Structure 1
Amino acid sequence: MGQSRSPLDVAGLELLAARGWRGTEEARLGDWLLRAGGGFTGRANSALVVGDPGMPLPDAVDAVTCWYTDRGLRPCAMLPGRQSRAADDAFAAAGWERDEDVLVLTAALTPGAPDGVPVTLSPEPDEAWLAGYRHRGLPLPPSARAVLGNAEEVAFAAVRLDPPPAPLAAVARGVVTDDWLGVAAVTVAERHRRQRLATAVMAALQRWGADRGARWTYLQVSAANAPARALYRRAGFIEHHRYHYRYAPA
């Protein structure tokens, strides 16, 4: 991976990433993108706050609140970079709670040769893959499959080191949007950690993405996840921007 500067700004990269991890329902509030997906992941169930909502910010906060409440979801807004500061202040003034920072990392895509780890790629997640992906350490809800598969070019990487019914050793998801590869859901089973499996699934997805015209790659990682941040830094990723969520008062 090369440490070149990304050709997209914050809004451009977030709107591209939103096409790679979609909810099952979307609507517009001016430039803002409202997304719902059965409650599975913040990205698929939040208002992406980029640009102008086409109304005063306090009114936009109310409109977001109503849209999510109507769908039985806790209202949530995703606020990336400096461009969202004024909106962030409006959500804060309405009592919305701030979550931790998430880093968006980017790198030029320079795929390497296979390293001998047996990585398989599939266009759909099977039951073993779904069991292997632990979102925030928890099993996936029923709505997960629809969100995970809702993309035009998507691949599900898996490493199996023990025969079924033993769980997979590692999984990850890749999606190509324009000339970008998005990598997500990188999960390594506890007993197989420190065996370079995360590196192997990412490399397999990079080769897959390069075959489909991707020249850049992005991923998201929690600011608190020091081991993952160190892994991605070694792989050549640099910080593009940060975002955080705000949630309406419970």
Structure 2
Amino acid sequence: MGQSRSPLGVADLERLAARGWRAPEEEPLGGWLLRAGGGFTGRANTALVAGDPGRPLPEAVEAVAGWYGARGLRPGAQLPGVQARAAGTAFAAAGWERDEDVLVLTAPLVPGVNGGAPVDLDPEPDDGWLTASGHLGRTDAATARAVLTNAPEVVFASVRTDPPPAPPVAVARGVVTDDWLGVTAVTVAEEHRRRGLATAVVAAVSRWGAQRGAGWVYLQVSSANTPARALYRRAGFVEHHRYHYRWAPA
């Protein structure tokens, strides 16, 4: 990965990323996007605040709360970049709680070198992949698959030391949207870390994305995940913007 400035702005990149992690139910609220996916992940169960909701912000906050409440979900909002500050103030005024920052990193896509641990690529995640990613600890397999596979071009990478049904020791998900590769769910079992497995699965997914015409790559990482941030910095990723979630009072 080489350092260069992304050709997309914050709102456009977030809309593209939303297409790569799509909830089964989506509905526009002006320029915002309401998303519901059975409670599986923040990205699939929050309003993407990018653009003008077409109404005063306090009314938009109420509309978001009502939409999620009607679905039995805790209302949430994803607020990316400085463009969402005014909306963030409106959510805060309504008592919505703020989560930590998430960094969105980008880089020109340079296919990773084929070497090191062997990586399997599959069109769907099996239960072992879901277990290794930590997703089965938060939801059922059907709900997770409904979100994870809801894209035209998606792949699930895994490194195994034991055959199935034993879970992989490292996993990642890749999705191509337009000419962008999104890398998500990069997870390595704690006892197998610092062995280059995260690099191996990301490299395998990057080769897959390049074969499908992607020229840029994005990923998200928690601001508190210092080891992962250092790994991606060494790989040439730069910070594009940050976002955070706000959640209605429980």
TM-score, normalization by structure 2: 0.97
**Structure 1 counterpart SS, 2:139:** coil
Cα distance in 2 between the residues matched to 1:116 and 1:245 = 37
Contact 1:154/1:176 (CA < 8 Å) preserved in 2?
yes
* Matched ranges for 1:66-77 at <5 A: 66-77=66-77
**What residue is the counterpart of 1:93 in the other structure?**
93
Contact 1:102/1:222 (CA < 8 Å) preserved in 2?
yes
**What residue is the counterpart of 2:215 in the other structure?**
215
How far off its partner does 1:47 sit? 0.2
1:165-219 deviations in Å (ceiling 9; x for gaps): 4321111100000000000001111221111000000000000000000000000
Structure 1: segments with no counterpart, 5+ residues: none
**What residue is the counterpart of 2:26 in the other structure?**
26
How far off its partner does 1:145 sit? 1.3
Contact 2:128/2:166 (CA < 8 Å) preserved in 1?
no
State yes or no: 1:160 paired with 2:160. yes
Greater Cα offset, 216-225 or 184-193: 184-193
Cα distance in 2 between the residues matched to 1:216 and 1:200 = 18
State yes or no: 1:36 paired with 2:15. no
Cα distance in 1 between the residues matched to 2:56 and 2:46 = 19
1:14-54 deviations in Å (ceiling 9; x for gaps): 00000000111000000000000000100000000011000
**Structure 1 counterpart SS, 2:176:** strand
Contact 2:112/2:202 (CA < 8 Å) preserved in 1?
no
**What residue is the counterpart of 2:139 in the other structure?**
141
**Structure 2 counterpart SS, 1:11:** helix
State yes or no: 1:4 paired with 2:7. no
The ranges of structure 1 where at least 4 consecutive aligned residues each deviate by more than 2 angstroms after the TM superposition are 162-167
Contact 1:130/1:140 (CA < 8 Å) preserved in 2?
no
Instruction: Work out the number of aligned pairs and report it.
Output: 248
**Structure 1 counterpart SS, 2:78:** strand
How far off its partner does 1:128 sit? 1.4
Q: Percent identity?
A: 75
The code of the aligned residue for 2:231 comes to L
Cα distance in 2 between the residues matched to 1:163 and 1:26 = 38
Distance of aligned partners of 1:249 and 1:140 in 2 relative to their CA distance in 1, 3 Å threshold = closer
1:65-109 deviations in Å (ceiling 9; x for gaps): 000000000000000000001100100111111110000000000
Structure 2: segments with no counterpart, 5+ residues: none
Cα distance in 2 between the residues matched to 1:144 and 1:150 = 10
**What is the RMSD of the two structures over their aligned residues, measured on CA atoms?**
1.0
* Matched ranges for 1:1-250 at <5 A: 1-135=1-135, 139-142=137-140, 143-250=143-250
Contact 1:133/1:139 (CA < 8 Å) preserved in 2?
no
Greater Cα offset, 183-192 or 156-165: 156-165
How far off its partner does 1:140 sit? 4.1
How far off its partner does 1:132 sit? 1.1
Contact 2:100/2:223 (CA < 8 Å) preserved in 1?
yes
1:151-176 deviations in Å (ceiling 9; x for gaps): 11000001112234432111110000
